[in-house]
Chain A
Amino acid sequence: MSRKDKTPKISQKNQEQKKTPTTQVGEQTQLLDSLKAAARRSGFYLQRSVQEGKLSDSIKQAGEMLNGLRSSSLSPKNYYDLYLFVSDELRYFGLLLRESIKKEPIASIIYRDVQFTSRIIPRLYLLITAGAVVIENNPKKTREILLDLLEMCKGVPHPTRGLFLRHYLSQMTKDLLPDISESEKGSKNGNEKEIEKEIEKEPKNQKSNENENKNEKKNENKNVKIKKEESKTENNKNLQGNENEDKKNNVLPWMISINFTIQNLIEMNKLWIRIQHQKLPGNISKLERVSSRIKLTEERKDLCSLVGTNLVRLSQLDSVTLEVYKERVLPILLEQIEQCGDKIAQSYLTEAIILVFPDEYHIHTLPDLFSILPNLHQEVNIKNIIILLIERLINFANNNPKSIENTFLITQIFSKGISSITRKRTSLPRIHLLSILNGLMKLSLCLHPQRIDFINHMLSSCVKSIAIQKKLTKDEINEILSILSTPLDFYNDLNILVQLENYSMLIDTLPNENRRIISLKFLENGLNTLTIVSSPKKVSKLLEITKVLFLDSKDSISENEEDENLKSLFFREQYTVCRFIHLLRSENIAKSFKILQIIADTFSSGGTRRIKITIPPLVFSALQLANGIRQLEKEKKKILNNNNKENKDHDNLEDIGLSAKKIFEFIHKIMTSLTKLLPLKSLKLFLQCALASDKCNFEPIAYEFMTKAILVYNDHLKDPKTQYQMINYISSTLQTLRAFHPDNYSLLCNQCGGYSAKLNIAPHQVRAIVTCSYLFLSIIKQPLNIAYKEIKEKIEIQDEKNKNKKIVKVEKVKKIIEYKRPSNEPVLLYFIDVKRLLGCISRAIRVAGSLMEPSLLFELLIEILNTCLYFFELDSGAVNSSFINTLLDLILQKKSENESNWKQLLTKPIYNFYYLTFKHIKLCKKNKETKRLFKPIKIEKILKDFLK
């Protein structure tokens, strides 16, 4: 149980103190200074008398010193200042009393002597000082003196003077209050029960009580008398009741402490409130009157801790156990708060109670606390109180996990309490209600995170609170954003978030830009936590929640908006959307496909500016899925081949009726709109689809995609550089494809060759044609061993169906040879057409030869030479040694033709390229494995030329 030592301060301090007219301030300062000077003077004499041990002198001096506190002209703040000074000086008087009482037991004499001080304020201060010393010396007198002093303080009804006097009383007695001792603690429970009974019995009528209790005095404190010097005021009912009980229960001296403190608190609170209603001087203007009131209120707020000290005191008493607090302390405090009707006091005391008493106590008294809230002054900030309580409880729950037993009950009390507040307090601002609901949501998440229904209910309450009224303010929007972030940040799991049915409803209440902020945060949460959402239903809900990112709405920012910030925000959003969809997938193929369809449906309504960005990643997701299906089918075949039908861990593709073909149909569909919008991107995507469908061995589909790519090339690409890059890309893609029947492959090769030959810029043409030459010597070796196995498998499978097919195929590809590489790994040539290959090379040489610029001609010839060496080194028979020799001669010849400007024209990189190629040939001639092959290649002339 933690007990706060610090006196709570009023939470909302008004920093800006209104200026009072300077004259008034000046007067105040003057007055304070003179009173302080007088007190300092008396204080000096007091100290001297104390040093000399003159008791009666010091009583006189102390009385003098205290005279300043009789002032009613000082502002509360200045009075506080003087009070601090005087009460500090009074310590010396206390010291002397303590000394005197040791010499002779004159406690009561001093007590009485002091009373001869004629003025009431000094007298009471001195009495309190003396009283404390007496108690200290003789604890048996505690009850008598405490009650006596409490009564006497009633003699000062002036708010400021009374308040400080009582504070002094509280300060002087703080260490003297009887408390339950360690040894008593064990038997406390028994005592508590006793009290409970007593409380139940306690009659309202005081007189009958007194009579009833008369005979029951048994203990040593029999002789205690209650002094009733001054008439009882109407407000002493409580104390009276307690007195009676005290008489009866002498075993429980600590009860006095509680009653004393509560009583003092109540009285101080009343005085404190009355400061507010003090009369102002009559001779000031209206404006001054207003500012004076404001200043008074501020100064009064500053005095709150005087009252609060009593609460701290109570919380420090060990005797204030949960039971005592619940039955004896809190009800009285709450009653006082409710009755006092003052907004400052109500706010302060309620918050102070929450702050000073242990959270455990609050948990057990929540309904009591909540019962008064609706009835507090309309201007009391209920939100602050509830939020404070929630924060305390969350903190407690976090520090003491599992210590709260009935968590549901707590949330329920809060829910009920809040709804009763909203019913009764019509002035509760919407923003406050939203903050309270946000707090409640946090509490619910802390106490029982598994109860998503609670959160959902609170979201619904938020929606309801918004539905009624007008446009949201900026603060309200921020609060709603915070409410929406609360469960998001807590769960960090979109799979849970999508179960909140009302989440999207609350988002919908926000303006467009805020919907976008929270939706983006939603997706980013998924990306940060890498939460995979694998259920199609959940994906649907997720897209519904964040729909502002996918779809235009009535309040969307218009498309023609030229604002750069808006544009970059839009791109950032779409970038996140694209990344995010890769998290939406399932281990189950059918579910994954369903998810893709859901996404596609949403995307397709997003308008062109979104489609351009969002469709490509969707295509790749689909391709990945097709890849997954293919792998699965491969595994299935393996299993069938092994007759191992027990293994059923994987999806049964026949059951779900899904083949990779469907995926390609799907891609085809979603790409329809893209071709015109983004021809270049579409072309690349079609090639990707061709690659994927080729891997699935879907020849017609792969063919279709290749044709589509070529069609886009033909219809949409106009820029020469792009044309060149893309035809190269088409050719090199085609070069890797394996599913085609050689006839179809051949047809596509023709198209590539045709478009390459049509390129407008000669070097582009040469290089594109050179690329095409590779199409006619297609080699599978990526990686070598796997490729080899795959092609074997393919042939074997075909064998089972039709034994002749293998032969046909082998004939068609003209030649399949196995070629031993240095690593002894087999390489398969898939398709070889020597005539067309050489046709490409010859054409490339011819076009290059027509170029007027020698350096470019040489560069291209050396590139062609390298390509030829590539084919030659494969020993495929496509390019033979004499072809290489001819080409080398041609290069030398072209060089000598331009000998005059050779050095000028041949820039260094081309020269190096030529030299390195020559070096490579030289190396191959030396190398063991290639020695034989390269023997016929003649390099002597080149060597001679280099040496020149």
Chain B
Amino acid sequence: MVLILLIGDIHIPQRSFGIPEQFKKLLVPGKIKHVLCTGNLTSKESLEYLKTLASEVHVVKGNFDDENLNFPETKTIQLENFKFGLCHGHQIVPWGDQKSLQVLQRKMDVDILVTGHTHEFTAFQLENKLFINPGTVTGAYSGFNDEIEPSFVLMDVKGSKIITYVYQLKDGDVSVEKITYTKPSEND
């Protein structure tokens, strides 16, 4: 069992004063093994914070991340039986488009594609692949999305099975949703 945190579009301090307290209480060090960050941390303090949560922190570059931080545009990470693809998503046209995300998934040849940028949690399956956008953990403002709720995703990976927990902050309360995904066996 490996616990993975999907988190991104933090935007502190440009768009937000910080991660909601309700989330901070949940995000305790020592339990999470890997952090997959979709980018737009926009400060080194945010990166330092992620590093307190887990030893393995994977970050890709968001459109508002400092050029000097040298994050890659995309990254693939093999965890258990899954190949994860990580990309902020502002490079995809049209933004957040499912079919365009599918193209990126093919290009990166991954089982699970994790992207951000839209500030909205989404999870869907296409052609047996899993697409996840953990949204924005701070509920940061977005120019093209009105109803923003802070969110992040925890993934419990076990062999070929993933249980995804979606944490969303709605009117001050944390709601948790559970999605199960099993990797189909490759036989063609």
Contact = CB atoms under 8 A, between A and B. Distances in A.
Interface residues of B, number: 35
Given A728-B91, A870-B99, A575 B43 contact: yes
A515 B127 CA distance: 60
B165 interface: no
Interface stretch (B26-34, B49-57, B103-111, B153-161): B103-111
Contact of A729 (B16, B18, B63, B127): B63
Contacts of B91: 728, 732
A698 interface: no
A582 B143 contact: no
A620 B94 contact: no
Interface stretch (A458-466, A596-604, A791-799, A910-918): A910-918
Interface in A771-790: 771, 774, 778-779, 781-782
Contacts of B13: 575-576, 578-579, 582, 617
Nearest to B45: A575
Contacts of A631: 146
B37 to A, nearest CB: 19
Interface string B79-115: 0000000000011111111011011001101000000
A576 B18 CA distance: 10
Contacts of A684: 63-64
Contacts of A688: 143
A709 B133 CA distance: 28
A771 B99 CA distance: 14
Contact of A579 (B12, B21, B118, B141): B12
Nearest to A908: B109
Contacts of B177: none
B103 A623 contact: no
B17 interface: yes
Contacts of B21: 530
B17 A735 contact: no
B14 interface: yes
A732 B17 contact: no
Interface in A399-422: none
A683 B94 CA distance: 20
A574 to B, nearest CB: 9
Given A617-B14, A771-B93, A923-B127, A866 B103 contact: yes
A735 B15 CA distance: 23
B171 interface: no
A583 B145 CA distance: 21
Contacts of A692: 143
A916 B108 CA distance: 10
A844 to B, nearest CB: 13
Nearest to B100: A870
Contacts of B90: 729, 732
B123 to A, nearest CB: 13
Contacts of A732: 90-95
Contact of A779 (B92, B94, B109): B94
A889 to B, nearest CB: 20
B173 interface: no
B141 A620 contact: yes
Contacts of B99: 870, 873
A920 B127 contact: yes
Nearest to A781: B97
A691 B144 contact: yes
Contacts of B96: 782
Given A578-B14, A617-B14, A782 B95 contact: yes
Interface in B131-164: 141, 143-146
B127 to A, nearest CB: 6
B94 A583 contact: no
A527 interface: yes
Nearest to A777: B94
Contact of B94 (A580, A695, A774, A923): A774
Contact of B17 (A580, A624, A728): A580
Contacts of B102: 920
Nearest to A614: B13
B93 A735 contact: yes
Contacts of A781: 97
A779 B93 CA distance: 11
A741 B107 CA distance: 35
Given A580-B17, A912-B109, 9 more contacts: A527-B18, A576-B13, A579-B13, A617-B15, A684-B63, A732-B93, A736-B95, A781-B97, A917-B106
Q: Which 10 A-B pairs have the closest CB atoms?
A: A691-B143, A578-B13, A579-B13, A916-B106, A582-B17, A579-B17, A866-B103, A912-B109, A774-B93, A732-B93
28 contacts: A527-B17, A530-B21, A575-B43, A575-B45, A576-B13, A579-B17, A582-B15, A617-B15, A623-B141, A627-B141, A627-B146, A631-B146, A684-B64, A722-B67, A729-B90, A732-B90, A732-B93, A732-B95, A735-B93, A771-B93, A774-B93, A779-B94, A781-B97, A782-B144, A909-B109, A912-B109, A913-B106, A920-B106
Interface of A: 527, 530, 575-576, 578-580, 582-583, 616-617, 620, 623-624, 627, 631, 680, 684, 687-688, 691-692, 695, 722, 728-729, 731-732, 735-736, 771, 774, 778-779, 781-782, 863, 866-867, 870, 873, 909, 912-913, 916-917, 920, 923
